[in-house]
Structure 1
Amino acid sequence: MKSLYAATCALALALPAAAAELETYLEFEKAMPPGNLAIGPDGRMFMSVHEFYGPELRVVEVMPDGSTKPYPTEDWARAPQDDADGLNGVLGLRADRDGILWMLDGQGENQTGRIVGWDTKTETLHAIHYIGAPVARPTSFLNDLAVDRDHGAIYISDTGDGQNSAIIVVDLETGRARRVLEGSQYTIPEDTPMVIDGREITLGGNPAKIGINPITVDPTNTWVYFAPMTASAMYRIPTAALLDESLSDADLEAQVERYGDKPISDGSTVDTGGNVYITAMTDNALGVTKPDGSYEVLFQSDDELPWPDGFSIGADGYVYATINELHRSPALNNGEDASKGIYKIVRFKSLADAVSGR
């Protein structure tokens, strides 16, 4: 028994060392500010180009040599002209186990938000699901999404105006969408200033206090993990509860669990061990909320990790993250682009894979 205890303690101590070195996987030129990542089951990598910098391209495929090409096609990768193919503005995107790339194409003036699914195996359009009124509000900001193929659903974080922040649940078979947990204590922001490099970040002239943003589903499609960007906690809720239309708002809120601590954060993903990775942009850091509820900084660098943004876990057991200096973008810097071109993808072995020796 003593040897088992000693081995367990040694394993626990070894966990942070599993991520002892952060690898710069790819770097991009200043014209290619990365947004979020999606890695398909075959290892292909796709990336949204962050709309806060006003890019021409919306989505690209990232090739192994670091080059990029417009994706899904030359037309689809750009803003649509009239009624032609195209994407208005993509932040969240995910590739599911069947090779469908789901792109969250946000709403704007005279445009309805939607999810565009593209089959990366046949290179054909798979589906389009529109997220219109009344499920979407006039102040909606469709931010990120999690794909649950076991239950045929997609869960969207609608940041909204901070008071009406909510999760939108989309049925992939019927296209029906529902708005849940709107304005709940688990989706609206806390009253905490977002300070980066000694400056309070503003959005639209107001202090940036932002509701639900990070959202992810565990590999077994049992739990959805989510949180407001401006919040000190990560939450989770069973997928079964989100899919149960018989639950009242109060019943649904009762199903939410506080999973653990976190700082102000942007993106998240979760591994097979229940480790929820966090892009802690106010700390210029990558961290993890562990199953015991504690939060740990894995990597921190003011110079090398300015605004870590999105995550994706590859079949190779690596956790990939984008770095994009978003606090220096015009949208968050009083209309001025002060970015230095520190645009890259970094990666590290997931803690779950490190423990398993993979």
Structure 2
Amino acid sequence: MKHLLSAASVVAILSSPLAAAGLETYLEFPKEMPPGNLAIGPDGRMFMSVHEFYGPELRVVEVMPDGSTKPYPTETWARAPEEDGDGLRGVLGLRADREGILWMLDGQGEGQTGRVVGWNTKTEELHAIYYVGQPAARPTSFLNDLAIDREHGAIYISDTGDGANSAVIVIDMQTGRARRVLEGSAFTVPEDMPMIIDGREIKLGGNPAKIGINPITIDPTNTWVYFAPMTASSMYRVRTTDLLDTSLSDVDLVTRVQRYGDKVISDGSTVDADGNVYITAMTDNALGVTKPDGTYEVLFQSDEDLPWPDGFSMGVDGYVYATINELHRSPVLNGGEDASIGTYRIVRFPALGTAISGR
């Protein structure tokens, strides 16, 4: 399913700022601390995954107000586990909910089962672990991002998979049951469009990078889950009640998915209370937004300052925070060579609508 940008979206893009003027660099990190995704708790504490594409020792850190970092949740948990001990194998997605639980998506490795680890940031104790094994997962699964729905007791995971089998995984937090939905649907698999950054087509595993569902987020009322393939020109949404309705077949569920609006190739996403879905538009070195009327607008663009914007988090201060990490220059996406120059930072800007953190 391929959609061209609407005329209104094209006008919005052409009339948008062509530089990152007005975008604030909140924090900068040294070369050994490439940021992944962000999570800001209801008390304002900030947590960050360290992007595994750079092969870091630490998986997750807490980011202090002065820009320093410390291993999180503990010295042991922040690193790879030894045999069956505590630790995290590789975290991309993470979210902090309104109860102060930090949810870390610990993707599966060879011979390992993916899982979601919840840590209570108030009591500094392990809260829960949910495992994502087969048949909800596939041998080619790549658990990429997640959204937390405490109102309905559910976790929604984007499984990028191998592209053909991209899907959403739904976890029931009460029973621990995991279900795979929308596998191979037009809303989860990539479109046939090249991922070109700085004039180079990005390759993954030697093949052109055409990547399925990745960005996924939930609105503050826990009514809608917004999601999209990374390589796609559309943002979609579906009601949480439909995702949670086990009586619906996949054929039925497909009819409940709505096309929300235009977008470009993108990585992370978040949404404010007014329905503005923010995306990290890494092929444009930009931050953009899909608006409730379906149009797409570039908010900030800079080839120098915004090389691969990655993940978002809403702050308690009304700002939208985003990570920058040059991921196209990482060994995984650059033929095994690390060509990054260390433009690792967190930027922020005021939300267009009402921002609510911790969800």
**What is the Cα deviation at residue 220 of structure 1?**
0.2
Per the alignment, residue 74 of structure 1 pairs with 75
Deviation of 1:109 after TM superposition, in Å, equals: 0.7
Match for residue 304 of structure 1? 305
**Alignment match, 2:256:** 255
Structure 1 segments unaligned to the other structure (5+ residues): 1-11
Partner SS for 1:240? helix
Provide the alpha-carbon RMSD of the alignment. Answer: 1.4
Q: Which runs of 4+ in 1 moved over 4 A?
A: none
* Rounded Cα–Cα distance in structure 1 between residues aligned with 2:42 and 2:35: 21
Q: Distance in 1 between matches of 2:231 and 2:354?
A: 30
Structure 2 partner of 1:56: 57
In the alignment, what sits opposite 2:271? Answer: 270
Structure of greater Rg: 1
**SS of the residue aligned with 1:173?**
coil
The equivalent residue for 1:110 is 111
- 1:170 paired with 2:151, answer no
Q: CA deviation at 1:353?
A: 4.1
Cα offset, 1:243, TM superposition: 0.2
Deviations 1:208-258 (A, max 9, x none): 000000000000000000000000000000000000000111110000000
Aligned positions of 1:163-242 closer than 5 A: 163-242=164-243
SS in 1 for 2:353: helix
Q: CA deviation at 1:20?
A: 6.1
- Once residues 153 and 259 of structure 1 are traced to their aligned partners in structure 2, the CA distance between those partners, rounded to angstroms, is 22
2:37 maps to what in 1? 36
By how many angstroms is 1:298 displaced? 0.3
> Within 1, Cα distance between the matches of 2:200 and 2:304?
16
- Structure 2 match to 1:157: 158
Higher normalized contact order (CA 8 Å, seq sep 6+, divided by chain length) = 2
Q: Which amino acid aligns with 1:118?
A: W
- Which residue number in structure 2 is paired with residue 245 of structure 1? 246
2: distance between equivalents of 1:119 and 1:20?
37
When normalised by structure 1's length, the TM-score is 0.93
Given residue 255 of structure 1, which amino acid in structure 2 is its aligned partner? Answer: R
Once residues 111 and 185 of structure 2 are traced to their aligned partners in structure 1, the CA distance between those partners, rounded to angstroms, is 29
Q: Matched residues in 2 for 1:325 and 1:260: separation?
A: 27
Separation (CA, whole Å) in 2 of partners of 1:263 and 1:220:
26
- Find the residue that maps to 2:247 and give its secondary structure: coil
Deviations 1:115-147 (A, max 9, x none): 000000000000000000111100000000000
Match of 1:290 in 2: 291
TM-score normalised to structure 2 length: 0.93
Report the counterpart of residue 27 of structure 1 in structure 2. Answer: 28
- Deviation per CA, 1:331-354: give whole Å up to 9, x if none: 000000000000000000000149
Number of aligned residue pairs: give it: 340
Decide which structure has greater helix share: 1
Q: Percent identity?
A: 82
Q: Distance in 1 between matches of 2:29 and 2:21?
A: 24
* Offset at residue 315 of structure 1 (A): 1.2
- Equivalent residue of 1:69, what SS? strand
What amino acid does structure 1 have at the position aligned with 2:72? Y
